[in-house]
Amino acid sequence: MIREIFKTAYARAYVRIKGVNSDVTHFIIDIGLPLIGLSAILLAYKSLNAPSQFLAIAAIGGAMMAFWYNVLWGMASQFYWERETGNLPLYISSGAPMPGVLLGMALGGAVNMTIRAVGVLLATVYLFGIKLYTSEIVPAFFLFLLTLFALYSLGMIFASSFLRFGRSVSKINELLGEPMLFFSGVYFPVKVFPFAIQLIVSLIPLALGIEGMRELMVFGNSPLQILWIYIVLLLLGIVFFYIATKMIKYMEERGKTTGTLTLKWE
């Protein structure tokens, strides 16, 4: 079963990576447009003569922002589109493990977004002369992987639960889009929030990941000082992944009863 899950995940990830990168213009747009938005913030900080750390904080947050949008538009609402084209019934009737499909979507999305996030980050480092600590690059990379694990596991839950929605998924995505970015402190440290909100925010993988990366790469702290972030991200990832596999099974059964697995233009 495990082998089948990974084989399915590999195939689904292949499609996603090949499809998105088959057109070089997508690549340019995906790096260029976020860079314009992020540059506006960085220029504002610069014009106010903000400390250089502000620029680094915003650059890391801005680069990581792409992952959240990918989780919403590339994961959460994906099954809606798969159902419209007729892929979803074929996935299900093929007998292939659906957690493998979800995992493949997540892996493909994560790889695609990593290429873009790195592109955005490197471009801002070059264009704005941002300085980052590279001595903790290995722990930072590990933290980054844990962030993706937790974030995309959350995306897998969304993908499963969004199966019950029709075209309203776009509105739900909008609802989850900006507020989540705000509470993740994309352009500012979440420490500015009151403690109670910080506690809630610490359950958002993106917020934790961004905060941890800043501690390592902007403030040059040791990974031991943020060990709790590693642990919480790992736990969140495991819990979200488990819920996602149960959720997809439940939604499939529910869809078979209600008829929504094949319902189009819902």
Of 117 and 261, CB closest to another protein: 261
Q: How far is Cα 213 from Cα 138, in angstroms, rounded to an integer?
A: 11
Q: Which is nearer to another protein, 89 or 166 (CB)?
A: 89
| Alpha carbon distance, N-terminus to C-terminus of the chain | 33
Q: Compare residues 85 and 134 and give the one whose CB is closer to another protein.
A: 85
Binding mask 95-134 for another protein (x = CB under 8 A): xx--------------------------------------
Pick the piece of the chain touching another protein (CB under 8 A) from 11-19, 34-42, 190-198, 217-225.
11-19
Q: Which stretch binds another protein (CB under 8 A): 57-65, 183-191, 218-226, 256-264?
A: 256-264
Among 40, 94, 203, 228, binds another protein (CB under 8 A): 94
Using the rule CB under 8 A, is 167 a contact of another protein? no
> Pick from 46, 52, 73, 92: which binds another protein (CB under 8 A)?
92
SS (H, E, C) the chain: CHHHHHHHHHHHHHHHHHHHHCCHHHHHHHHHHHHHHHHHHHHHHHHCCCCHHHHHHHHHHHHHHHHHHHHHHHHHCHHHHHHHHCHHHHHHHHCCCHHHHHHHHHHHHHHHHHHHHHHHHHHHHHHHCCCCCCCCHHHHHHHHHHHHHHHHHHHHHHHHHHHHCCCCHHHHHHHHHHHHHHHCCCCCCHHHCCHHHHHHHCCCHHHHHHHHHHHHHCCCCCHHHHHHHHHHHHHHHHHHHHHHHHHHHHHHHHHHHHCCCCCCCC
Q: Which is nearer to another protein, 10 or 183 (CB)?
A: 10
Of 54, 67, 79, 91, the residue at the interface with another protein (CB under 8 A) is 91
The Cα–Cα gap between 123 and 74 comes to 24
- Binding residues for another protein, rule CB under 8 A, total 29
Q: Say how far apart CA 64 and CA 114 lie, in whole Å.
A: 9
- Considering the complex, state which of residue 92 and residue 122 has its C-beta at the smaller distance from another protein: 92
Min separation Cβ 41 and another protein, Å: 32
Closer by beta carbon to another protein, 7 or else 46: 7
Per-residue contact string for residues 19-38; x = within reach of another protein by CB under 8 A:
xx-xx---------------
- For the bound state, the minimum distance from the C-beta of residue 83 to another protein, rounded and expressed in Å, comes to 10
Q: CA-CA distances (angstroms) from residue 42 to 38, 127, 174, 212, 256?
A: 6, 10, 25, 20, 50
Interface with another protein includes 93 (CB under 8 A)? yes
Of 70-78, 79-87, 139-147, 190-198, the segment contacting another protein by CB under 8 A is 79-87
**Contacts to another protein by CB under 8 A:** 4, 7-8, 10-12, 14-15, 18-20, 22-23, 85-87, 89-96, 256-257, 259, 261-262
